[in-house]
Amino acid sequence: MHDLSPSGLALPAPSRRTLLRGVGGAALLGAGIPLLSACGGSGTAADPKTVSLGSNSSDAVPKKAFAEIYAAFTKKSGIKVDVNTKDHNTFQEQINSYLQGAPDDVFTWFAGYRMQFFASKKLAAPIDDVWQKIGGDFPEAMKKLSKGEDGKYYFVPLYTYPWAVFYRKSVFAQHGYEVPTTWDDFVALCKRMKKDGLVPIAFGDKDAWPAMGTFDQINFRTNGYDFHVELMAGKASWTDAKVRKVFDHWTEILPFHQEGAVGRTWQDAAQTLVAKKAGMYLLGTFVGQQFTDKADLDDLDFFAFPEIDPAFGQDTVEAPTDGFMLSKAPKNRAGAVKLLEYLGTPEAEQIYLKADSSVVAASTKADTSSYTALQKKSFEMISGAKSLTQFMDRDSRPDFTSTVMQPALQNFVRNPKNVDSILSSIERQKKTIFASA
């Protein structure tokens, strides 16, 4: 009797209620999904034979190369690597919540401030024990890059690549250009190229980070590594005359840059170098990815950014380094340590380099005999450097570089005359950002 609805209709009550229960359940589930996914990761919590690994290598070439490293590790140690690959940019955007939730045991990351930041927030575990095993294989500069602010190791570098000025050998030969080593030679070369109908320096800053690379080069050539580090750490002032000098140099060569840079991607800018319409291009070695024709790639060469102040010469090289870190509370620490030790071996690096020839090994022990000419030159340049920088967004607070520096440098590239107001605006914003935790 009570199952009758108040209206007296003999509705199929149970089914209505089941439906409701279903709806309620779905709603609860819906609310539960974010919580569940926040827990994320794998369900292989206590399995000592598995290490979970969060990876940002979503592109085909590195993804395959990494898979080969993990397979070799499994073969050697009997420990399975459970890889959880996320889209490269998504991984970076979510790194914060990922590390605070239930991250994988080991995760891919970048050296420099970006690594130190998470180390100092206790979102990564120190791995001094790993470095006792692998330490002998790495040069001093790499060791420095792998340490947190507390002096403990947090990072295992795998590969690195330099930033330099790229050019085509055939274009230089055709016009009889010579590689410039000083600022004056460089400016003179730009002028000659312009007269010869070339775009002297290819440039595309639509993605807002390439201009940061130009700033880095001019800054550490003008003011040296130490000032660059201080500036990146928020200690030196952006209104300092030294910084103003950097922008004066930049203003001098800006007219030789490709027009309309803010609307162009780096890939499109690289195409002008491929097409021999541009004479030079300041970028990382990944510019080689745009040279799909083998003959064109063989024609590609590079030189270190020219000397500006003889006191600093060309002793600093910008060489972003990618590698691995250990999460704050790995489920299988013993296995993760074994994996990290393996990733620090020359063997693992060689497996990677076989598949991706645009980068070089971070280790000095890796076999360089199969390197291409570009790789050999990159390797020499990095190992001969007195100091290595990472890149502005890896050497400084990412929130500062992305919200302040990127728009500011785009503004400068468009209106070099505004430099004073741009610099004081940067300094004002920098103070509040670096004052926060």
Partner 1 sequence: MSTDTSTENPEAAAEPSPGAASRKRPTGHRRLLTRRDRITLGLMAGLPTILHIALVWLTALASIALAFTSWNGIGFDSIQWVGLQNFRELFTSNPQFWPAVEHNVVWFVVLILLPTPFGLFLAVQLDKSIRFSRVYQTAFFLPVVMSLAVIGFVWQLVYNPDTGLINSVIGANKPGHYIDWIGDPDLNLWAVLIAASWRHAGYMMILYLAGLKGVDPALREASALDGANEWQTFKNVVFPTLRPTNTVVLVVTIIEALRAFDLVFVFNKGAQGTELLSILVTNNIIGESSRIGYGSAIAVVLLVISLAVIIPYLIATFRKERRA
Site for partner 1, rule CB under 8 A: 2, 5-9, 17, 20, 23-24, 27-28, 30-31, 92-93, 95-97, 100, 114, 117, 121, 123, 199, 205-208, 259-264, 268, 271-272, 397-399, 402-403, 406-408, 410-411, 414, 425, 428-429, 432-433, 436-437
DSSP 205-273: -TTS-HHHHHHHHHHHHHHHHHHHHHHHTT-S-TTSHHHHHHHHHHHHHGGGBPSSGGG--HHHHHHHH
Q: Would you say 272 or 314 has its CB closer to partner 1?
A: 272
- Roughly what angle, to the nearest 10 degrees, separates helices 241-253 and 210-232? 160
Q: Would you say 299 or 393 has its CB closer to partner 1?
A: 393
Q: Distance (Å, rounded) from C-alpha 287 to C-alpha 277?
A: 16
Residue 172 C-beta: closest distance to partner 1, Å: 21
Q: Would you say 147 or 264 has its CB closer to partner 1?
A: 264
**Nearest CA among 244, 216, 145 for reference residue 391:** 216
Cβ contacts of 212 within 8 Å, gap of 6 or more = 391, 392, 393, 401, 405, 406, 409
Residue 417 C-beta: closest distance to partner 1, Å: 15
Q: Would you say 311 or 437 has its CB closer to partner 1?
A: 437
Q: Would you say 40 or 346 has its CB closer to partner 1?
A: 40
Residue 3 C-beta: closest distance to partner 1, Å: 8
Q: Distance (Å, rounded) from C-alpha 139 to C-alpha 35?
A: 43
Joined together, the tokens standing for residue 132 give 């006792």
Residue 20 C-beta: closest distance to partner 1, Å: 6
According to DSSP, the residues that pair with 326 across neighbouring strands are 106
Residue 363 C-beta: closest distance to partner 1, Å: 26
Q: Distance (Å, rounded) from C-alpha 16 to C-alpha 9?
A: 13
Q: Distance (Å, rounded) from C-alpha 53 to C-alpha 85?
A: 8
Q: Distance (Å, rounded) from C-alpha 306 to C-alpha 240?
A: 23
Residue 407 C-beta: closest distance to partner 1, Å: 6
Cβ contacts of 273 within 8 Å, gap of 6 or more = 166, 167, 168, 202, 280, 281, 287, 290
Q: Distance (Å, rounded) from C-alpha 326 to C-alpha 106?
A: 5
Q: Would you say 383 or 425 has its CB closer to partner 1?
A: 425
Q: Are 296 and 365 in contact (CB under 8 A)?
A: no
Which residue in the block uniquely carries the two structure tokens 């020499």? 380
Residue 403 C-beta: closest distance to partner 1, Å: 6
Residue 314 C-beta: closest distance to partner 1, Å: 30
Q: Dihedral of CA 268/271/273/278: which sign?
A: negative
Q: Would you say 37 or 96 has its CB closer to partner 1?
A: 96
DSSP annotation of 305 = P
Residue 260 C-beta: closest distance to partner 1, Å: 4
Residue 425 C-beta: closest distance to partner 1, Å: 5
Q: Would you say 117 or 177 has its CB closer to partner 1?
A: 117
Q: Would you say 223 or 406 has its CB closer to partner 1?
A: 406
361: amino acid identity, one letter: A
- H and E: helices and strands count for the chain: 19, 12
Q: Would you say 371 or 434 has its CB closer to partner 1?
A: 434
- Roughly what angle, to the nearest 10 degrees, separates helices 333-343 and 60-77? 120
